[in-house]
Structure 1
Amino acid sequence: MADPLYRFDCVPMNTITLPFFPLKLVAFPGEKLNLHVFEPRYKQLIGDCLLKGSTFGICVYLDKLTMYGTEVSILEVSKTYEDGRMDIQALGIRPFRIVNFRNPMGEKLYAGGEVSILEGDEFTDTLLYAEFKELMVDMLQLLGLPENEDFKRIDTYNFSHKIGLSLEEEFKLLLMRNEAERLRFLVQHLRKALPILVKMEEAKRKIQMNGYFKNLDPLNF
């Protein structure tokens, strides 16, 4: 039986060709990524994308290449170094499944190939989303993140890197093409993680108090 982590039951809606940038991370749709590009093949890849105004694919690498990833676009080159290294900011667009992997891609230094875009169902369970958002706000506040406009736009992707998911769990989340399924997955994770985080914060406060002089009231016997 195939490993469910690498299986995806989906009828491809369309196919496009992308250059590939395999990384040990999951890029979520709508997420901004800061990447330091230093290998010759990936400097060439980014240079070609800038020249053509095209996108590329960040392929998820776990213990091996998973054959799934996310199409991303380059928002800006933040810095270019004398040796050709670059700091870039990219934006996740949509997930894909690799149909054809070619390494190298023609005469290029980097890999590439055809991918099928994974379409999804964005139907949201209103009650489940309300619970998810409440749990997420509690988690983000415990993590000490300042409340801002992003708190009003919490979805199943935009804070997922901050709530303690493993790389494998983030990968599973990326493969879920149903919003309600993603909500159930994250609610289950948050229900388990929040009590642990609360206990850790309580322990941290107790440890911090140990170094201070305590003003103790006398006891009357």
Structure 2
Amino acid sequence: MTNFISIFPLGVVVYPGEQLNLHVFEPRYKQLVAACIAEQKPFGIPVVINKKIMEYGTLVQIKKVEKMYDTGEMDIVTVGDRVFRILEQVTEIPGKLYTGAIVNYPDNNEGSHLRLLKEVLHGVRELHAILQIHKSFKKEDTALLSYDLAHHAGLSLDEEYELLHLFYEAQRLEYLKRHLHKVIPMMAEMERLKERVLLNGHFRNLSTDNL
């Protein structure tokens, strides 16, 4: 399927199924959102990296207008729908301040891979334990997808974008698994280093028994 969509480029990666709350304040995007609400249409959020609009993004549906301000600014609740690929940017739309794009929607395989999912989930929880943070997911463990875990795995924006255009669930989980295997030892070492720094200047019980 190929079609035209209005676009709202942002320096974030939105995954299918993810809720994104937006405060809309720029005139062009106030106009875009107002048009989408009136016409009950979705819009696209292509990823911006280093001030460049990337090839892939996510179509989002407006689920709720949380607040409307006298200035025309809005707080809206959106949910990621599906990943699109930009075929052509449309920089001028008659009578509109915002831009658009001709896009298509790559086939996306979300089949479950429970063994891989279990490994990735274990890694995410191990990382969170090292960082002393607690996050809970709104689904049962077995119902989770890579998209539910990606923002919780310590990926950079570039890495989150790379995962966005992997179109098989097994590929995405494998990507997260490799990332966690790399980052967990690094974070554990940083925590040990922090402990050593904090010990500096403290009275310590030392022994020469092992000499």
TM-score by length of 1: 0.81
Alignment match of 1:131 (pick from 93, 96, 119): 119
Amino acid at match of 1:31: E
Structure 2 distance, partners of 1:85, 1:207, is 47
Structure 1 distance, partners of 2:75, 2:193, is 39
- Work out whether 1:189 is the aligned partner of 2:176: no
- 1:172 Cα deviation from its structure 2 partner: 1.1
Q: Which moved more, 1:31-40 or 1:182-191?
A: 31-40
Structure 1 distance, partners of 2:197, 2:44, is 45
- Work out whether 1:95 is the aligned partner of 2:87: no
Alignment match of 2:25 (pick from 25, 38, 45): 38
- Work out whether 1:174 is the aligned partner of 2:130: no
- 1:137 Cα deviation from its structure 2 partner: 1.9
* Gaps in structure 1 of 5+ consecutive residues: 1-13
SS at match of 2:54: strand
> Is the Cα–Cα contact under 8 Å of residues 28 and 157 in structure 1 kept in the other structure?
yes
Q: Which residue number corresponds to residue 113 of structure 1?
A: 101
> Is the Cα–Cα contact under 8 Å of residues 124 and 152 in structure 2 kept in the other structure?
no
Amino acid at match of 2:48: Y
User: Judging changes above 3 Å, is the alpha-carbon distance between structure 1 residues 33 and 143 closer, same or farther for their aligned structure 2 residues?
Assistant: farther
Q: Which residue number corresponds to residue 15 of structure 2?
A: 28
- 1:20 Cα deviation from its structure 2 partner: 0.4
TM-score by length of 2: 0.85
Structure 2 distance, partners of 1:65, 1:149, is 30
Q: Which residue number corresponds to residue 11 of structure 1?
A: none
SS at match of 1:150: coil
> Is the Cα–Cα contact under 8 Å of residues 141 and 147 in structure 1 kept in the other structure?
no
Structure 2 distance, partners of 1:68, 1:218, is 59
Spell out the pairing of 1:136-175 with structure 2 (5 A cutoff): 136-150=124-138, 152=141, 153-175=143-165
Q: Which moved more, 1:58-67 or 1:91-100?
A: 58-67
User: Judging changes above 3 Å, is the alpha-carbon distance between structure 1 residues 135 and 82 closer, same or farther for their aligned structure 2 residues?
Assistant: same
Provide the aligned length of Structure 1 versus Structure 2.
206
- 1:207 Cα deviation from its structure 2 partner: 4.4
- 1:167 Cα deviation from its structure 2 partner: 1.6
* Gaps in structure 2 of 5+ consecutive residues: none
Alignment match of 1:59 (pick from 46, 53, 74): 46
User: Judging changes above 3 Å, is the alpha-carbon distance between structure 1 residues 76 and 205 closer, same or farther for their aligned structure 2 residues?
Assistant: farther
Structure 2 distance, partners of 1:93, 1:171, is 16
- Work out whether 1:69 is the aligned partner of 2:57: yes
SS at match of 2:151: helix
Amino acid at match of 2:44: G
Q: Deviations over 1:9-49 (max 9, x none)?
A: xxxxx123211001122111111112221110001001111
- Work out whether 1:204 is the aligned partner of 2:204: no
Structure 2 distance, partners of 1:200, 1:218, is 26
- 1:174 Cα deviation from its structure 2 partner: 0.5
